[in-house]
């Protein structure tokens, strides 16, 4: 049986009375691109620091490829970290920054330079070795930090919100490049982010954190389509939580509240246009937000509560604030949530 790349067994980390990590059990497979997703203070970054060795657990055990690492310093672990602020040495050249880990290990200057150039080529920065970090763009500095993390051939690469400082277009480009690099190298990537889009688009599996605990682990499709709790439904993407009382008025035998994603709702001009077998609600349009290819329509229900709809911005039923709208959706679009 293959050992997990990283495993947590009952891991907690307390800071006084604060339980930053509270009884986490987790296994990350070798070669997996694994995302830790959650809001600020949810425990995801503390878990990354525990893997890296920058912090130690209060309780529980952590193993990296089957080896217990409690008390093992960061430099003796088979991991390397890419930080959000890159942490590059401004007085060193790009090549020397990349080769720093090899220098600490006593590798000769020529061998260090050759390996640094190899790593820079891997991250598409050939010819940049003699520049200083200040002469690079944010995206280029991010690549340098990644090359520096890879040069010591770690078994696990830890990425602490490395795309957070980049603008939207560059961030999207780097998402694709990181995925490509991951497939090329076959290493285990553990990626911490508070950005749901990053986690869903990049990871093989996602762990959603809240209040120091993992509330759900699954593939991006499972996390998005089958959220277990209200928190996951609300935090990952955007969701309408439909209460049991409202569902019962539609003739649905409710098992509690249900999640209904905005893109699963259709706006109809009249009840006549509602497809056979679909459920429908009457609502008043509160606002219409143009978002390019799609629009977000926020509606107000007569009995209170709001439902958001996401549909094509062009060719859709025309609506404006104050107008009446018929919201239609398939019963299968409802996903029942666990009772909290």
273 lies in the same domain as 173: no
* CA distance linking residue 215 with residue 209, whole number of Å: 6
What pLDDT is stored for residue 340 in this prediction? Answer: 57
49 in any annotated domain: yes
Q: Which CATH number goes with the domain that contains 81?
A: 3.40.50.300
If one counts the domains in the chain, the total is: 2
Full domain range(s) for residue 264 = 240-336
What pLDDT is stored for residue 240 in this prediction? Answer: 94
92 lies in the same domain as 178: yes
What pLDDT is stored for residue 142 in this prediction? Answer: 86
78 lies in the same domain as 218: yes
**What pLDDT digit, counting tens, does each position of 106-151 carry?**
889 899 999 999 999 998 899 999 999 999 988 888 889 899 999 9
Tell me the pTM: 0.90
277 lies in the same domain as 188: no
Neighbours of 240 (CB within 10 A): 22
175 lies in the same domain as 266: no
120 lies in the same domain as 193: yes
What pLDDT is stored for residue 1 in this prediction? Answer: 65
What pLDDT is stored for residue 277 in this prediction? Answer: 94
137 lies in the same domain as 286: no
328 in any annotated domain: yes
Residue stretches of the chain with pLDDT short of 70: 1, 165, 315, 340
147 lies in the same domain as 36: yes
What are the start-end ranges of the E strands in the chain? Answer: 6-15, 18-28, 33-37, 59-64, 67-68, 79-82, 156-160, 188-193, 205-210, 213-218, 240-242, 258-260, 266-268, 279-291, 294-301, 306-312, 324-329, 335-336
77 lies in the same domain as 191: yes
Helix (H) or strand (E) holding 147: helix 138-150
What pLDDT is stored for residue 174 in this prediction? Answer: 83
Task: Among 227, 249, 273, identify where a domain stops.
Answer: 227
Q: And the tokens for 335?
A: 């996903």
42 in any annotated domain: yes
């Amino acid at each position: 049986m293959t050992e997990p790349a990283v495993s947590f067994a009952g891991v907690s980390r307390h800071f006084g009375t604060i339980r930053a990590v509270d009884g986490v059990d987790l296994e990350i497979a070798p070669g997996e691109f694994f995302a830790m997703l959650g809001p600020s203070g949810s425990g995801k970054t503390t878990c990354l620091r525990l893997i890296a060795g920058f912090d130690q657990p209060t309780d529980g055990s952590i193993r990296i490829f089957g080896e217990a690492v409690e008390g093992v310093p960061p430099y003796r672990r088979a991991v390397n970290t890419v930080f959000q602020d890159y942490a590059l040495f401004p007085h060193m050249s790009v090549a020397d920054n990349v080769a720093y880990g090899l220098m600490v290990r006593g590798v000769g200057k020529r061998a260090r330079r050759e390996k640094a150039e190899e790593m820079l080529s891997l991250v598409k920065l050939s010819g940049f070795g003699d520049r200083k970090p200040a002469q690079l763009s944010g995206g280029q500095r991010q690549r340098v930090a990644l090359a520096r993390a890879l040069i010591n051939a770690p078994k696990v690469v830890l990425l602490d919100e490395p795309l957070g400082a980049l603008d939207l277009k560059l961030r999207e480009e780097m998402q694709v490049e990181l995925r490509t690099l991951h497939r090329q190298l076959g290493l285990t990537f553990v990626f911490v982010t508070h950005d749901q889009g990053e986690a869903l688009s990049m990871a093989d599996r996602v762990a959603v954190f809240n209040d120091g605990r993992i509330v759900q682990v699954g593939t991006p499709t499972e996390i998005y389509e089958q959220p277990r709790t209200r928190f996951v439904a609300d935090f990952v993407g955007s969701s309408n939580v439909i209460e049991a009382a409202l569902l019962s008025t539609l003739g649905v035998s409710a098992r509690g509240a249900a999640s209904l994603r905005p893109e699963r709702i259709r706006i109809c001009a009249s009840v006549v246009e509602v497809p056979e077998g679909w459920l429908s609600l009457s609502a008043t349009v509160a606002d219409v937000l143009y978002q390019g290819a799609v629009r977000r329509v926020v509606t107000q229900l007569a009995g209170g509560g709001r439902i958001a709809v996401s549909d094509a911005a062009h060719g859709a039923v025309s609506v404006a604030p104050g107008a009446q709208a018929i919201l239609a959706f398939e019963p299968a679009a409802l996903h029942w949530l666990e009772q909290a």
